Every structure is written in structure tokens, then in C-alpha cells.
Amino acid sequence: MRSVQAQSDGADVCVIIAARNAEATIAHAVVSALRQPEVTEVIVVDDASADRTSAAAEAAGDGSGRLKLLRLTRNAGPAAARNAALAVATARLVCILDADDYFLDGRLGRLLSAPRSWDLIADDIVLVRGNAASAVAGLVTGPGQPQLLSLEAFVAGNIGRPREHRRELGFLKPIMRRSFLQRHGLRYDERLRLGEDYALYVEALAAGAVFAVTAPCGYVAIERADSLSAQHRTDDLAAIVAFDEAMLSRAGLVPASRRALRAHRDATLRKWQHRRVLDRRRSHGYAAALRELLHAPRAWRHILSETLNAKLARLVPSRVPDGEGAPRLLLGPGALLRPAR
């Protein structure tokens, strides 16, 4: 496994922000990135927004010349938008910031204070419901002792568990060595509009990347029920299944990695089959949905569980209204990772 030892690296980070119709949040994201001393460029890619996203991003510039704005003429999705930024980035290190998220001051400095023997390094994410940003700083502890992600652990960490908060490792937003991405020809898979981060990290780990994960350093993500990552559209799920199938066809994967990829594929396939049943119900009625269900016997348990959970959620509304509730960590304590050696 190859990694790059670069203790002498200077501060040289490009922050990439793909944005679509993000007029309300983009300025906060841009300002939080420009406030990081290690940032030499912030590249905002406006993915054919219908609002004033570009103007709001430009207005958030600090006059340092570090802010660059790219405008796409057609909506191409987050993967294509990020690839457009990667094509013009010049910094040695790159990291992603979602347009409705933000960095706390010092996030990159804390993350980069960890030993530099990695190709990707991410911190646990602070999740906030709605706009409730109180007490987020109290969850930031600094990098601590980094832990390493194997391909097996990463893929397994993207399989959701019923009745639990979403904790998929694909939500992580690492700093990445641009030289590693270039050397292995890695880019975001533009066929994916959901799970593009998951796919890139899987490809990187399969290529031998050293992926370190630390305690929270200051990435704050806003949880919204209508976010793209919370919406599992039928075609999006089918594309992720196809990606896992393609990875499984690769030579050289160890058995544990193959088992994890199969498990992730099967879990995603069950979600896809559920979406197919719902689609048929909406378009052709309950009889057609039942026929579709009969062709997916392995998904029956998943579909029944999700249906019951949805009905219970309507009968017993959440006691925490949108915009309220204590911040939480994406990962928190757990045994998903192994200590770095």
C-alpha cells in the first residue's frame, strides 16, 4: 500500500463547492472556507442554478483573489460539477464542502496537524438539524489519534441499519492529495447523482489509498429531510448497484472486500426494488405494485419493515421539530475503524 509522506508540505488546500439553487446558504459556506488560513483557492461550481447562487457566492469573496466561480450551462449533477473544479484546481490538497454546510474556524488546521502519512484524511462530521447551530463547537475535539479505514470497513460502514440515524461513511468529506487522484486517474463518477462520494472513496481504497479518519475537527453538516442524499430515486439506486457490480468484477480484491461489496450491493438492490414497487403503485395502482413485489421476494422483509416504519412515523410524529435538537456526530464512538499503526 502506497502513501505519501509529506511532513514538509506547506498550507496549500483547494476547497471545492458544487452548488445548485443554493442562494440562501452558499455565502456562509464560501466565507467559512476563505477563513481557513490553509486555503489557497475556493472553487464554486454553479450547476446551472435557477436562482442567484452565483451572485451570492461572488459577494462572499474576501478580495484575496482566492475565490473562483465556474458556471455550468446545464444541470450536470454534483459529480460533474466537482470534476469541473478538479480540472482547474492547482493546490496540492483538495477537499469538498457542500453548499449548505460550513467549516468552523480552524477546521483544516486541526485536521492537517495529524501525521501526514495519508492520501485521504477526514474528520467525524457534526450534524445539525435545520439551522440549529448552537453548541456545535463543543463537539470539536481535534484530530486525536487517527484511525485507518480499510476497503472492507468503509463499504460495510455504508450499509444503513434500521431504526438508527444514518451514519454512512460516504458522508465524510476528506482532504485528498490531488497527486494521488491524478496518479490513479480518479474522478467522480458522473453517472451517479447519489453516492458519488462513496464511489470515489471505494475506487481510491481499491487503488491502495491510505484513508485516515480522526475525531471531529469542525465540518458542520446541515441535516435536511429534502436533501439529495436523503432521497433515494429509483435510477440513482440502480446506478449504485451497477457501480458495486463493476467493482466486484475487478481482479485483485481480497475476499473480505468482495463480501462487503456484495452486502452493500444487496442492501442497495433491496432499496431499488422497494422504489420500483412504489413507482408501480403510483403509476399503475396497487395491483401492479403487488405484481412487482412478487418479482422481488428477497426484498419483502425490507419493504415490509420500511412500510411499517413509515406508517408509525405518521402516527407518532417526531418530538423534535425541524430546526431544533442537539447537534450529533455522524460516527461517534464505535468499532468501524482500526487504529493507525
- 206-235 pLDDT, tens digit per residue, is 999 999 999 999 999 988 765 544 456 888
pLDDT surpassing 50 at residue 4 = no
pLDDT in tens, 56-96: 999 999 999 999 999 999 999 999 999 999 999 999 999 99
In sequence order, the 6+-apart residues with CB closer than 8 A to the CB of 281 are: 288, 289
Query: Which segments of 2-137 does DSSP mark as H helices, in order?
Result: 26-34, 53-59, 78-88, 107-112
Max CA pair span of the chain: 66
Mean pLDDT of 122-142: 82
Task: Give residue 160's pLDDT.
Answer: 79
Name the one residue in this structure whose C-alpha cell is 505519501. Answer: 4
CA 238 to chain centre: 18
Closest CA to 54 of 87, 29, 12, 22: 22
Task: Tell me how far apart the alpha carbons of residues 256 and 252 are, in angstroms, rounded to a whole number.
Answer: 12
Assess contact for 217 and 107: CB atoms under 8 A. yes
pLDDT in tens, 170-183: 999 999 999 999 99
Task: Tell me how far apart the alpha carbons of residues 81 and 70 are, in angstroms, rounded to a whole number.
Answer: 9
Task: Tell me how far apart the alpha carbons of residues 122 and 171 are, in angstroms, rounded to a whole number.
Answer: 10
Amino acid (one-letter) located at 2: R
pLDDT surpassing 80 at residue 115 = yes
Task: Give residue 340's pLDDT.
Answer: 38
280 grid coordinates: 408501480
Model confidence band, residue 129 (pLDDT cutoffs 50, 70, 90): confident
Name the one residue in this structure whose C-alpha cell is 467525524. Answer: 124
Assess contact for 143 and 123: CB atoms under 8 A. yes
Assess contact for 304 and 109: CB atoms under 8 A. no
Closest CA to 157 of 169, 174, 173, 172: 169
Reported pTM: 0.84
- Please state whether beta strands 126-129 and 219-223 pair in parallel, antiparallel, or not at all (unpaired): parallel
Assess contact for 74 and 45: CB atoms under 8 A. no
Model confidence band, residue 275 (pLDDT cutoffs 50, 70, 90): confident
Q: From the CB of residue 61, how many other CB atoms can be counted at a distance below 10 Å?
A: 18
pLDDT surpassing 60 at residue 143 = yes
Model confidence band, residue 335 (pLDDT cutoffs 50, 70, 90): very low
